Amino acid sequence: MLIDKELKSTLVAKTKLFCKHCTLHGVYYFYKASSWSAHVLWAMIIAASMALCCFLGHMIWMKFVIDPTLTVVETTHYSMVNIPFPAVTICDTDNVFLPKTQEITDLLILRGYNATEIDDFYKSFSEVKQKNYAPEPYVRKMHSLLEDLGYSLKILLDMFKRPCSNITVECNWRSKTFNCSEMFHPLLTIVGHCCQFDIPYFMEHADNQTNFISGLDSTEALDIIVNGQSSNGNSILYVYDYKEKITLVDSFFSLTPQSFFDVNIYVWAIDSSSYVKALPLSGRKCILDT
pLDDT in tens, the chain (290 residues): 455 777 777 777 777 777 666 766 666 666 666 677 877 887 788 788 889 989 999 998 888 777 766 666 655 566 777 788 899 999 988 888 888 999 999 999 999 999 999 999 998 888 877 778 888 899 999 999 999 999 998 899 899 988 998 889 899 999 999 999 999 999 988 888 899 999 999 999 988 888 888 877 777 889 999 886 654 557 889 998 888 888 877 888 888 777 777 877 777 767 777 777 777 777 766 666 65
The whole-angstrom separation of Cα 290 and Cα 287 is 9
Distance of CA 146 to the CA centre of its chain: 40
* In a shared domain, residues 230 and 186: yes
In a domain, 260, yes or no: no
Provide the number of structural domains found in the chain.
4
* In a shared domain, residues 178 and 118: no
Please say whether the beta carbons of 209 and 203 come within 8 A: no
DSSP 163: P
Q: If we measure between CA atoms, which residue out of 183, 191, 192 comes closest to residue 85? A: 183
* In a shared domain, residues 117 and 211: no
How many CB atoms are located within 10 Å of the residue 223 CB? Answer: 16
Please say whether the beta carbons of 209 and 202 come within 8 A: no
Supply the pLDDT for residue 251. Answer: 83
Supply the pLDDT for residue 134. Answer: 86
Supply the pLDDT for residue 102. Answer: 92
- Of 125, 160, 195, the residue that ends a domain is 160
Spell out the residues 6+ positions from residue 136 whose beta carbon is closer than 8 angstroms to its own: 120
> CA torsion 105→107→111→115, rounded to 10°?
10
* In a shared domain, residues 74 and 58: no
The whole-angstrom separation of Cα 226 and Cα 85 is 20
> CA torsion 52→58→60→64, rounded to 10°?
180
DSSP 150: T
In a domain, 113, yes or no: yes
The strand pairing partners of 168, in sequence order, are 226
Supply the pLDDT for residue 233. Answer: 54
In a domain, 117, yes or no: yes
* In a shared domain, residues 85 and 188: yes
* In a shared domain, residues 219 and 87: yes
Backbone angles phi, psi at 12, to 5 degrees: -65, -45
Distances (CA, A) of 117 to 11, 105, 112, 143, 252: 97, 11, 10, 12, 32
In a domain, 49, yes or no: yes
| Residue-number span of the structural domain to which 234 is assigned | 80-94+168-255
